């Protein structure tokens, strides 16, 4: 099965400043996205994520490199017809209602009236905007605008959905709503390419990731391969014991009311603490082993770069 998205040795520069000096933004990036997966494209602001996506969508053109979408040239009409796209900062004519907005784009895709009605109703239900279908977009919240934009990107039944920072600026509830929709798209067999700098959400839903820093991909692969299962330290919350007995057994020791919070990096000390809790009839309220996270890997790689 061909890759849903293939990028090889992509280079892009922009001329900036009074003297139009060239600044390299993409420095030979390469990655591939398999069909049916959620692929996370991670990087700090200014790393080159949006520039990569603009090249893929034909909004700007790279100097060198090769791009294919579903084994088709990225700029062919056949490839574009199978792609759905939500930019980072979409602009919508905000005096249209959500339903009118989707009808307008449905006509651009040459969907028949009856098929358009059915499709729009289905998409409004998918993004949970049925009750706001006849509300003007200017009255929508940021999260609602992201969801109607996502609905628009799905009107043409794309095989590949490209989302540029769809979680940016959303509150926790809005981010969960977008995550749930993205997960459902995968269940329907679609491929999702998701650009973001919100690592917690990426870790929750992505199958594989590529990390881009200063225009170069510094790591990529399955999350299970990138993230170690080794326990870095253990967090404990304990009550019912004299704090002086615990102070020297853990690091980052804090007392709040009757509860004591501490981190333990040495496993032998952890056994001593648990023994002390039993002997003193104390209460172990929480014990959480902390393993390496995607954020740990990301921050470490950015600092090295």
Instruction: Please state, in angstroms and rounded to a whole number, the distance separating the CA atoms of residues 132 and 302.
Output: 42
Using a 10 angstrom Cβ sphere, with 0-12 exposed, 13-18 middle and 19 or more buried, the burial of residue 72 is middle
Q: Are 269 and 136 found together in one domain?
A: no
**Do residue 140 and residue 237 come from a single domain?**
no
Domain boundary among 195, 226, 257: 226
Tell me the residue range of the domain where 271 lies: 231-292
Question: What b/e sequence results for 117-144 when a residue is b if at least 16 CB atoms lie within 10 Å of its CB, and e otherwise?
Answer: eebbeebbebbebeebbeeebeebeebb
pLDDT value at residue 250: 62
Quick one: 215 and 235 in the same domain? Answer: no
Residue 201 included in any domain: yes
Last residue of a domain, which of 203, 226, 249? 226
What pLDDT, in 10s, does the model give residues 130-175? 999 999 999 998 888 988 999 999 999 999 999 998 887 788 888 8
Are residues 260 and 181 part of one domain?
no
8-state DSSP, 250: S
The mean-pLDDT minimum among 24-28, 40-44, 129-133, 134-138 falls in: 40-44
Domain C-terminal end among 226, 254, 273: 226
Does one domain contain both 108 and 187?
yes
pLDDT at 88: 85
Q: Which helix (H) or strand (E) holds 305?
A: none
Residue 277: give its domain's CATH number: 3.30.70
Please report whether residue 298 resides in a domain.
no
Kindly report the average pLDDT of the chain as a whole number.
86
12 plus 88 within the same structural domain: yes
- CATH code of 114's domain: 3.40.50.300
| 12 and 159 co-located in one domain | yes
Count of domains observed in the chain: 2
The pTM score is 0.78
């Amino acid at each position: 099965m061909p890759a849903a998205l293939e990028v090889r040795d992509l280079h892009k520069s922009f001329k900036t400043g009074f003297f139009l000096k060239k600044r390299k933004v993409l420095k030979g990036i390469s990655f591939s996205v398999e069909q049916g997966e959620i692929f996370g494209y991670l990087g700090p602001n200014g790393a080159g994520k949006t520039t990569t996506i603009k090249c893929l969508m034909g909004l700007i053109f790279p100097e060198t490199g090769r791009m294919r979408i579903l084994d088709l040239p990225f700029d062919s009409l056949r490839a574009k017809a199978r792609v759905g796209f939500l930019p980072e900062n979409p602009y919508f004519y905000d005096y249209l209602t959500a339903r009118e907005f989707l009808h307008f784009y449905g006509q651009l895709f040459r969907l028949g009236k009856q098929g358009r009605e059915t499709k729009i109703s289905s998409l409004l239900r998918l993004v949970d905007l049925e009750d706001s279908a006849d509300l003007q977009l200017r009255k929508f919240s940021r999260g609602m605008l992201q969801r109607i934009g996502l609905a628009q990107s799905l009107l043409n039944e794309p095989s590949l959905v490209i989302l540029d920072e769809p979680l940016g600026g959303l509150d926790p509830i809005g981010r969960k709503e977008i995550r749930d929709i993205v997960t459902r798209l995968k269940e329907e067999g679609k491929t999702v390419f998701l650009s973001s700098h919100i690592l917690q959400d990426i870790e929750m839903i992505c199958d594989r990731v590529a990390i881009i820093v200063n225009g170069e991909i510094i790591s990529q692969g399955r999350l299970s391969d990138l993230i170690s299962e080794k326990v870095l330290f253990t967090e404990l919350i304990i009550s019912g014991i004299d704090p002086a007995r615990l102070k020297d057994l853990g690091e980052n020791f804090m007392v709040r009311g009757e509860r004591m919070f501490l981190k333990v990096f040495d496993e032998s000390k952890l056994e001593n603490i648990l023994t002390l809790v039993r002997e003193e009839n104390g209460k172990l309220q929480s014990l959480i082993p902390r393993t390496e996270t995607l954020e740990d890997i990301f921050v470490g790689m950015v600092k090295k770069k």
